[in-house]
């Protein structure tokens, strides 16, 4: 390759080729400095003016890779003296890429590339003819598909046999996860209005996001992964939906080596979590600090517990000795209780005998009381009979006296005799009954019937 020809076509090459040629230029400069020559000696080989190579020398100096020790004397700084040139070139690439990504004021680690966003809109009314409004057609698998590019919107429209319309959004940089839903709704409303101007009504309320791929650059992957290696990991959950009509997809992340090694995902939450990784790590670090403090406190508590355990061991020895004394005391108490139990048994036997004697005495007393009551009733009955006999005798005496006076009542006398003798069949009573009239006899029978004789 002729140096002049390379430099002539330098500005016309693609960005990746431009980066490679710049790397070659840095390689020339670093090799000359390692050889003890001035970096500007490259101008002689490339036929450049010194002012043209000065930009790259200043850039290496700005990155603290080169330092000027005196007039025409240059050398590598201490951190890069022992590093191979390829490692220094990789460091320069990472720095330039980080500078380009952060030129908008956004942290480079938060930037992502939205390079595969497809939106599907159902057609409600009308017929789409993209070719008639500036589009083109392309044959694919026996099916003629029609497209139309919209440079102003940075998107391409695709007609799906007049049933739906696909919006293929071109790749772009995004800075926040909230940009994606807003961007999708912006495209839906813009294309809906565009098609409305061509007499086509789209169902903007039923749109679906069919594809969503977010690419996150990671320069570290160039160092740890081989070229062409692709790794895919399932995140174990569903990807976050942009609209309710989106098809449920498994959230996953993978490493894509083109155009440069990066991490890709179909889940917005994965990118958000990666952006917040620094914050999460800070929280984890704070948590680890708290854990370490807790461990130290636990160690102190364990030391106290160990001391208390030693004291507890001594206390347990004393308790065992006390338990032995207590066991001896319990044995003595058991013997005393046994003696008391025997005494109580003897006392209970005496008490039971005494109780039996008391019951017998009570029984005898009750029997004597019954006998006394019976005797009292007999005496009472005898007294009543004696009183009655005396009364009857008095009445008879009165009757005798009346008979002596000529006032004798035979019936009354007979009744008094019956009550006195208590027997109707006695001789005196029968003799008196013979001297009575029939009416007087009836009176006597009625009276005897009332007495129950």
Q: 134-148: per-residue pLDDT in tens?
A: 888 888 777 788 999
Contact 416, 392 (CB under 8 A): yes
Which DSSP string do the residues of 126-189 spell out, in sequence order?
S---GGGGT-EEEE-SS-EEEEEEETTTTEEEEEETTTEEEEEEPPEEE--TTHHHHHHHHHHH
Q: Which two tokens stand for residue 67?
A: 């330092």
pLDDT at 259: 52
Task: Please give the pLDDT value at position 5.
Answer: 36
Residues 6+ apart with CB under 8 A from 426: 417
Summarised one tens digit per residue, pLDDT across range 312-346 is: 888 888 888 888 888 888 888 888 888 888 888 88
Could you give the C-alpha distances from 122 to 71, 140, 158, 208, 209, in angstroms and in order? 72, 22, 12, 9, 12
Reply yes or no on whether the pLDDT at 228 is more than 80.
no
For residue 28, the model assigns a pLDDT of 79
Q: Which CATH class is domain 3-103?
A: mainly alpha
Tokens of 226: 């081989």
> For residue 227, what pLDDT is reported?
64
- Distance (Å, whole) CA 434 – CA 430: 7
- Asked whether residue 446 carries a pLDDT value surpassing 60, the answer given is yes
Range among 14-23, 414-423, 426-435 with highest mean pLDDT value: 426-435
What angle is formed at CA 117 by the lines to CA 110 and CA 280, rounded to 5 degrees?
25
Angle, vertex CA 180, rays to CA 16 and CA 112, nearest 5: 30
Burial of 92 (0-12, 13-18, 19+ CB in 10 A): buried
Tell me the Ramachandran region of residue 324: left when phi exceeds 0, alpha when psi lies from -120 to 50, beta otherwise.
alpha
- What pLDDT score was predicted for residue 345? 84
- Residue ranges per domain, the chain? 3-103, 106-275
- Tell me what the pLDDT averaged over the chain comes to: 78
Instruction: Please give the average per-residue pLDDT across 423-442, as a whole number.
Output: 69
Which residues 6+ apart lie within 8 Å of 260 measured at CB?
217, 222
Does residue 109 register a pLDDT over 70?
A: no
Angle at 338 between CA 333 and CA 342, to 5 degrees: 145
Are the beta carbons of 179 and 185 closer than 8 angstroms?
Answer: no
Most confidently predicted of 163-177, 208-222, 377-391, 393-407 = 163-177
* 198, 199, 203, 207: CA torsion to nearest 10: -20
Prediction pTM value? 0.43
Provide CB contacts within 8 A for 42, sequence distance 6+: 25, 28, 29, 32, 48, 53
pLDDT of residue 20: 34
Query: 152: phi > 0 → left, psi -120 to 50 → alpha, else beta; which?
Result: alpha
Distances (CA, A) of 375 to 361, 363, 364, 383: 21, 18, 16, 12
- For residues 173 and 113, the answer to whether their CB atoms sit within 8 Å is yes
Tokens 């071109």 label which residue? 170
Q: Which two tokens stand for residue 293?
A: 């403090």
Question: What is the DSSP secondary structure assignment for residue 424, as one 8-state letter?
Answer: T
pLDDT exceeds 60 at position 203: yes
What's the gap between Cα 47 and its chain centre?
A: 75
Gap between the Cα atoms of 43 and 28, Å rounded: 10
pLDDT at 225 over 70: no
Q: How confident is the model at residue 113 (pLDDT cuts 50, 70, 90)?
A: confident
Average pLDDT over residues 366-392: 83
Tell me: pLDDT of 367 over 80.
Answer: yes
What Rg value do the Cα atoms of the chain yield, rounded? Answer: 67
Model confidence at 21: pLDDT above 60: no
The length of the chain in residues reads 453
């Amino acid at each position: 390759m002729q140096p002049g020809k390379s430099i002539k076509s330098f500005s016309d090459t693609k960005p990746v080729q431009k980066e490679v040629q710049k790397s070659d230029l840095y390689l020339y400069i670093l090799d000359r400095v390692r050889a003890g020559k001035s970096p500007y000696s490259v101008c002689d080989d490339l036929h450049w003016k010194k002012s043209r190579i000065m930009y790259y020398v200043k850039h290496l100096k700005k990155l603290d890779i080169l330092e000027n020790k005196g007039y025409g004397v240059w050398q590598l700084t201490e951190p890069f003296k022992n590093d191979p040139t390829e490692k220094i070139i990789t460091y320069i690439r990472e720095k330039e890429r980080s500078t380009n990504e952060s030129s908008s004021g956004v942290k480079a680690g938060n930037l992502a590339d939205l390079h595969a966003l497809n939106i599907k809109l159902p057609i409600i009314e009308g017929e789409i003819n993209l070719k008639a409004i500036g589009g083109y057609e392309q044959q694919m698998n026996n099916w003629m598909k029609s497209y139309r590019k919209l440079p102003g919107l940075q998107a391409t429209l695709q007609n799906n046999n007049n049933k739906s319309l696909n919006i293929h959004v071109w790749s772009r940089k995004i800075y926040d996860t909230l940009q994606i839903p807003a961007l999708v709704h912006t495209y839906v409303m813009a294309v809906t209005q565009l098609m409305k101007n061509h007499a086509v009504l789209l169902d903007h309320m039923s749109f679906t996001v069919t594809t969503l791929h977010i690419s996150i650059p990671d320069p570290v992957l160039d160092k740890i992964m081989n070229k062409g290696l692709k790794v895919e990991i399932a995140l174990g959950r569903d990807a976050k939906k942009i609209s309710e009509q989106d098809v449920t997809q498994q959230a996953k992340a993978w490493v894509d080596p083109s155009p440069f090694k990066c991490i890709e995902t179909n889940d917005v939450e994965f990118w958000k979590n990666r952006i917040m990784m620094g914050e999460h790590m800070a929280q984890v670090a704070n948590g680890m600090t708290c854990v370490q403090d807790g461990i130290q406190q636990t160690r102190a508590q364990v030391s106290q517990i160990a001391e208390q355990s030693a004291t507890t061991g001594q206390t347990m020895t004393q308790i065992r000795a006390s338990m032995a004394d207590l066991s001896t005391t319990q044995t003595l108490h058991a013997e005393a209780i046994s003696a008391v139990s025997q005494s109580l048994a003897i006392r209970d036997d005496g008490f039971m005998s005494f109780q039996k004697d008391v019951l017998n005495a009570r029984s005898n007393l009750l029997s004597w009381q019954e006998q006394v009551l019976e005797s009292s009733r007999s005496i009472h009955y005898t007294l009543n009979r004696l009183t009655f006999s005396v009364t009857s005798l008095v009445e008879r005496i009165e009757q005798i006296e009346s008979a002596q006076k000529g006032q004798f009542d035979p019936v009354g006398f007979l009744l008094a005799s019956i009550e006195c003798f208590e027997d109707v069949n006695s001789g005196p009573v029968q003799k008196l009954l013979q001297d009575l009239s029939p009416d007087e006899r009836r009176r006597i029978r009625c009276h005897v019937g009332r007495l129950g004789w």
